[in-house]
Structure 1
Amino acid sequence: MLGERPIDAILLVTDLDEAREFYGGTLQLEVIEANEKTISFRAGETRLKASLSTTGTKDEQTQASWRVDDVRAAVEWLRSRGVQPEEYDTDELKTEDGVADQGDAYVAWITDPFGNVLGVEQSKS
Protein backbone atom coordinates (compact mmCIF):
# COMPACT_ATOMS: atom_id res chain seq x y z
CA MET A 1 0.00 0.00 0.00
CA LEU A 2 2.50 2.68 1.08
CA GLY A 3 4.97 1.66 -1.62
CA GLU A 4 2.58 3.07 -4.21
CA ARG A 5 2.00 6.39 -2.46
CA PRO A 6 4.02 9.64 -2.67
CA ILE A 7 6.07 10.61 0.36
CA ASP A 8 6.71 14.12 1.67
CA ALA A 9 10.12 15.26 2.87
CA ILE A 10 9.79 17.49 5.95
CA LEU A 11 12.57 19.94 6.78
CA LEU A 12 12.82 21.93 9.99
CA VAL A 13 13.21 25.70 9.54
CA THR A 14 13.37 28.58 11.99
CA ASP A 15 11.88 31.24 9.67
CA LEU A 16 9.04 30.51 7.23
CA ASP A 17 9.56 33.74 5.26
CA GLU A 18 13.20 32.85 4.67
CA ALA A 19 12.16 29.30 3.75
CA ARG A 20 9.67 30.68 1.22
CA GLU A 21 12.40 32.89 -0.26
CA PHE A 22 14.97 30.06 -0.50
CA TYR A 23 12.75 27.23 -1.71
CA GLY A 24 10.14 29.27 -3.58
CA GLY A 25 12.40 32.06 -4.83
CA THR A 26 15.93 30.75 -5.16
CA LEU A 27 15.11 27.11 -6.01
CA GLN A 28 11.87 28.09 -7.82
CA LEU A 29 9.66 25.46 -6.20
CA GLU A 30 5.94 26.21 -6.42
CA VAL A 31 4.18 26.93 -3.12
CA ILE A 32 1.12 24.69 -3.01
CA GLU A 33 0.01 25.15 0.60
CA ALA A 34 0.96 27.40 3.50
CA ASN A 35 -0.16 28.16 7.02
CA GLU A 36 1.42 29.66 10.13
CA LYS A 37 3.46 26.49 10.81
CA THR A 38 4.33 24.94 7.43
CA ILE A 39 4.85 25.71 3.76
CA SER A 40 4.49 22.93 1.19
CA PHE A 41 6.31 23.14 -2.13
CA ARG A 42 5.77 21.03 -5.24
CA ALA A 43 8.82 18.99 -6.21
CA GLY A 44 7.88 16.80 -9.15
CA GLU A 45 5.30 14.28 -7.96
CA THR A 46 6.26 14.83 -4.32
CA ARG A 47 6.13 17.63 -1.80
CA LEU A 48 8.82 19.28 0.25
CA LYS A 49 7.46 20.71 3.50
CA ALA A 50 9.19 23.41 5.53
CA SER A 51 8.02 23.03 9.13
CA LEU A 52 8.53 25.82 11.65
CA SER A 53 10.81 24.82 14.52
CA THR A 54 12.29 26.82 17.36
CA THR A 55 15.60 24.95 17.14
CA GLY A 56 15.97 24.01 13.46
CA THR A 57 17.91 20.92 12.47
CA LYS A 58 20.87 19.46 14.29
CA ASP A 59 21.44 16.71 11.72
CA GLU A 60 24.32 17.00 9.25
CA GLN A 61 23.19 14.08 7.06
CA THR A 62 21.33 14.55 3.78
CA GLN A 63 17.69 15.34 4.57
CA ALA A 64 16.28 15.08 1.03
CA SER A 65 17.69 14.54 -2.45
CA TRP A 66 16.42 15.42 -5.92
CA ARG A 67 16.88 12.84 -8.68
CA VAL A 68 18.12 14.58 -11.83
CA ASP A 69 19.24 13.52 -15.30
CA ASP A 70 22.39 15.69 -15.26
CA VAL A 71 23.93 16.55 -11.89
CA ARG A 72 26.51 18.91 -13.40
CA ALA A 73 23.80 20.91 -15.16
CA ALA A 74 21.87 21.05 -11.87
CA VAL A 75 24.99 22.32 -10.06
CA GLU A 76 25.47 25.03 -12.68
CA TRP A 77 21.81 26.04 -12.35
CA LEU A 78 22.16 26.20 -8.55
CA ARG A 79 25.28 28.36 -8.89
CA SER A 80 23.40 30.67 -11.26
CA ARG A 81 20.83 31.10 -8.46
CA GLY A 82 23.54 31.96 -5.91
CA VAL A 83 23.62 28.53 -4.26
CA GLN A 84 27.09 27.01 -3.89
CA PRO A 85 27.51 23.24 -3.68
CA GLU A 86 29.36 21.84 -0.70
CA GLU A 87 32.94 20.73 -1.29
CA TYR A 88 34.29 17.73 0.60
CA ASP A 89 37.83 16.35 0.78
CA THR A 90 37.91 13.52 3.30
CA ASP A 91 38.99 9.89 3.18
CA GLU A 92 35.35 8.86 2.66
CA LEU A 93 34.07 11.65 0.44
CA LYS A 94 35.72 13.80 -2.19
CA THR A 95 34.00 16.24 -4.51
CA GLU A 96 35.35 17.74 -7.69
CA ASP A 97 33.70 20.98 -8.77
CA GLY A 98 30.91 20.21 -6.28
CA VAL A 99 30.19 16.66 -7.49
CA ALA A 100 31.16 13.33 -5.90
CA ASP A 101 31.31 9.95 -7.61
CA GLN A 102 29.47 7.65 -5.19
CA GLY A 103 29.87 4.49 -7.25
CA ASP A 104 26.29 4.09 -8.44
CA ALA A 105 25.55 7.82 -8.72
CA TYR A 106 27.03 11.28 -9.06
CA VAL A 107 25.92 13.46 -6.14
CA ALA A 108 26.17 17.12 -5.15
CA TRP A 109 25.05 18.67 -1.87
CA ILE A 110 23.84 22.10 -0.84
CA THR A 111 22.87 23.46 2.56
CA ASP A 112 19.76 25.58 3.05
CA PRO A 113 19.76 28.67 5.31
CA PHE A 114 18.67 26.47 8.24
CA GLY A 115 21.44 23.88 8.04
CA ASN A 116 19.45 21.21 6.18
CA VAL A 117 21.72 19.30 3.79
CA LEU A 118 20.04 18.64 0.43
CA GLY A 119 21.31 16.37 -2.31
CA VAL A 120 21.12 16.40 -6.09
CA GLU A 121 21.70 12.91 -7.50
CA GLN A 122 22.26 11.47 -10.98
CA SER A 123 22.04 7.70 -11.20
CA LYS A 124 24.64 5.96 -13.34
CA SER A 125 22.14 3.34 -14.50
Structure 2
Amino acid sequence: MFRHTKAFSSFSVNDIAKAKTFYAETLGLDVEEMDGMLQLNINGGGHILIYPKDNHTPATYTILNFPVKNIDEAVDGLSARGVHFLQYEAPIKTDEKGICRTGEPFIAWFKDPSGNIISILQREKA
Protein backbone atom coordinates (compact mmCIF):
# COMPACT_ATOMS: atom_id res chain seq x y z
CA MET A 1 0.00 0.00 0.00
CA PHE A 2 2.74 2.52 0.91
CA ARG A 3 5.66 0.95 -0.94
CA HIS A 4 5.90 3.73 -3.52
CA THR A 5 5.10 6.72 -1.31
CA LYS A 6 7.74 9.16 -0.14
CA ALA A 7 7.28 9.05 3.62
CA PHE A 8 8.77 11.77 5.78
CA SER A 9 9.43 12.36 9.43
CA SER A 10 8.35 15.30 11.56
CA PHE A 11 8.92 16.67 15.03
CA SER A 12 7.89 19.65 17.11
CA VAL A 13 9.78 22.64 18.47
CA ASN A 14 8.76 25.43 20.81
CA ASP A 15 10.22 28.27 18.69
CA ILE A 16 10.21 28.14 14.89
CA ALA A 17 12.49 31.18 14.49
CA LYS A 18 15.18 29.69 16.76
CA ALA A 19 14.80 26.34 15.00
CA LYS A 20 15.25 27.98 11.58
CA THR A 21 18.43 29.74 12.71
CA PHE A 22 19.83 26.58 14.29
CA TYR A 23 19.07 24.18 11.45
CA ALA A 24 19.99 26.62 8.65
CA GLU A 25 22.92 28.55 10.11
CA THR A 26 24.42 26.30 12.79
CA LEU A 27 23.92 22.97 11.02
CA GLY A 28 24.01 24.37 7.47
CA LEU A 29 20.91 22.56 6.23
CA ASP A 30 18.60 23.70 3.44
CA VAL A 31 15.59 25.01 5.37
CA GLU A 32 12.36 26.11 3.73
CA GLU A 33 9.52 27.97 5.47
CA MET A 34 5.98 26.84 4.73
CA ASP A 35 2.79 27.98 6.45
CA GLY A 36 4.42 28.61 9.85
CA MET A 37 6.42 25.40 9.69
CA LEU A 38 9.87 24.45 8.45
CA GLN A 39 10.93 21.82 5.99
CA LEU A 40 14.44 20.43 6.12
CA ASN A 41 15.49 19.42 2.62
CA ILE A 42 17.89 16.56 3.17
CA ASN A 43 20.57 15.45 0.70
CA GLY A 44 19.17 12.74 -1.56
CA GLY A 45 15.67 14.19 -1.74
CA GLY A 46 14.35 13.50 1.74
CA HIS A 47 12.30 15.99 3.74
CA ILE A 48 11.67 16.48 7.43
CA LEU A 49 8.85 18.67 8.72
CA ILE A 50 9.34 20.82 11.83
CA TYR A 51 6.18 22.26 13.33
CA PRO A 52 5.56 24.60 16.27
CA LYS A 53 3.85 23.28 19.36
CA ASP A 54 3.02 25.52 22.33
CA ASN A 55 3.21 22.70 24.85
CA HIS A 56 6.26 21.10 23.18
CA THR A 57 8.06 18.47 25.22
CA PRO A 58 11.52 17.54 23.92
CA ALA A 59 11.95 14.00 22.66
CA THR A 60 13.82 11.76 25.10
CA TYR A 61 15.35 9.84 22.19
CA THR A 62 17.41 10.76 19.12
CA ILE A 63 15.18 12.39 16.50
CA LEU A 64 17.81 12.91 13.78
CA ASN A 65 21.07 11.15 12.91
CA PHE A 66 23.64 12.70 10.59
CA PRO A 67 26.38 10.43 9.22
CA VAL A 68 29.77 12.15 8.93
CA LYS A 69 33.10 11.03 7.49
CA ASN A 70 35.16 12.30 10.43
CA ILE A 71 33.39 12.69 13.76
CA ASP A 72 36.24 14.62 15.39
CA GLU A 73 36.17 17.27 12.64
CA ALA A 74 32.37 17.47 12.84
CA VAL A 75 32.37 17.80 16.65
CA ASP A 76 35.09 20.44 16.52
CA GLY A 77 33.25 22.38 13.80
CA LEU A 78 29.92 22.31 15.60
CA SER A 79 31.55 23.15 18.94
CA ALA A 80 33.09 26.23 17.29
CA ARG A 81 29.52 27.22 16.30
CA GLY A 82 28.34 27.00 19.90
CA VAL A 83 26.93 23.46 19.93
CA HIS A 84 27.41 21.67 23.27
CA PHE A 85 27.75 17.89 23.15
CA LEU A 86 26.09 15.69 25.74
CA GLN A 87 28.16 13.71 28.19
CA TYR A 88 27.16 10.19 29.22
CA GLU A 89 28.68 7.85 31.81
CA ALA A 90 26.47 4.77 31.67
CA PRO A 91 25.43 2.65 29.93
CA ILE A 92 27.24 4.60 27.18
CA LYS A 93 30.52 6.34 27.99
CA THR A 94 31.53 9.47 26.08
CA ASP A 95 34.97 11.08 26.03
CA GLU A 96 35.82 14.71 26.83
CA LYS A 97 34.48 15.80 23.40
CA GLY A 98 31.21 13.95 23.93
CA ILE A 99 32.03 11.12 21.52
CA CYS A 100 31.23 7.49 22.29
CA ARG A 101 34.06 5.46 20.76
CA THR A 102 33.11 1.99 22.02
CA GLY A 103 32.38 -0.09 18.98
CA GLU A 104 31.04 1.30 15.75
CA PRO A 105 29.62 3.67 14.86
CA PHE A 106 31.39 6.40 16.80
CA ILE A 107 28.58 8.71 17.88
CA ALA A 108 28.03 12.07 19.61
CA TRP A 109 24.77 13.69 20.72
CA PHE A 110 23.63 17.28 21.11
CA LYS A 111 20.33 19.13 21.46
CA ASP A 112 18.54 21.64 19.28
CA PRO A 113 17.22 24.88 20.86
CA SER A 114 13.97 23.08 21.80
CA GLY A 115 15.81 20.26 23.60
CA ASN A 116 15.36 17.57 20.92
CA ILE A 117 18.30 15.15 20.70
CA ILE A 118 20.35 14.90 17.49
CA SER A 119 23.38 12.74 16.74
CA ILE A 120 26.31 12.73 14.39
CA LEU A 121 27.87 9.37 13.72
CA GLN A 122 30.88 7.96 11.93
CA ARG A 123 30.34 4.45 10.65
CA GLU A 124 33.90 3.76 9.48
CA LYS A 125 37.17 4.72 11.11
CA ALA A 126 38.82 7.73 9.46
Instruction: Output the TM-score relative to the length of structure 2.
Output: 0.84
Q: 1:9 to 1:71 in 2, by over 3 A?
A: farther
CA gap of 1:3–1:99, structure 2 versus 1, over 3 A, is farther
CA distance in structure 2 between the aligned counterparts of 1:57 and 1:103, rounded to whole angstroms: 31
TM-align CA RMSD? 2.2
In structure 2, the partner of 1:48 is: 48
Aligned counterparts of 1:70 and 1:6: Cα–Cα separation in 2: 30
| Paired letter, 2:116 | N
* 2:58/2:114 contact within 8 Å kept: no
1:64 positional shift: 1.0
Letter in 2 for 1:79: S
Unaligned runs of 5+ in 1: none
Aligned residues: 123
Match of residue 94 from structure 1: 93
Q: Does residue 110 of the first structure (1) align with residue 110 of the second (2)?
A: yes
For residues 27-80 of structure 1, what are the alpha-carbon distances to aligned partners after superposition, in whole Å with 9 as ceiling and x for unaligned? 1212234222x1012232222321111222343111110011111111011111
TM-score normalised over the length of structure 1: 0.84
> In percent, how many aligned pairs have the same letter?
26
The amino acid across from 2:59 in the alignment is: D
Residues 88 and 94 in structure 2, CA contact (< 8 A), matched pair in contact too: yes
Aligned partners of 1:3 and 1:24: how far apart in 2?
Answer: 31
The gaps in structure 2 that reach 5 residues or longer are: none
1:16-35 pair list within 5 angstroms: 16-35=16-35
